[in-house]
Amino acid sequence: MADDDKRFARELIGKTVVSKTGKKFGEVGDIVFEVKSGELIHLVLVKPTAYTEKLELEKDKSDNILIPYSSLIAIGDFMVIAEEDII
């Protein structure tokens, strides 16, 4: 993996999460990962939009919405997810 492909978690926190069709979901507040393997599991969403709230997605103990990391398809100015992978 080239150094350009690597990102620090702190670079992802605060990025806006959108679907590939352009629907805004909220912002990344944290990232959940498996400690032993380092596998990324979920993006913890903060400031969810009304659209996101209606989807009744998985939530953590603090009632934050969780987006499966496997649904992430691109990282740039925004974090783009495949909406069909989370519903």
Give the length of the chain. Answer: 87
How does pLDDT run across 13-45, given as a tens digit for each residue?
999 999 999 999 999 999 999 999 988 899 999
Say whether pLDDT at 10 is over 50.
yes
What domains, with CATH codes, occur in the chain?
A: 3-85 (2.30.30.240)
At residue 7, the pLDDT reads: 67
1: pLDDT strictly greater than 60? no
Residue 56, pLDDT above cutoff 50: yes
Mean pLDDT across the chain: 89
For residue 77, give the DSSP letter. S
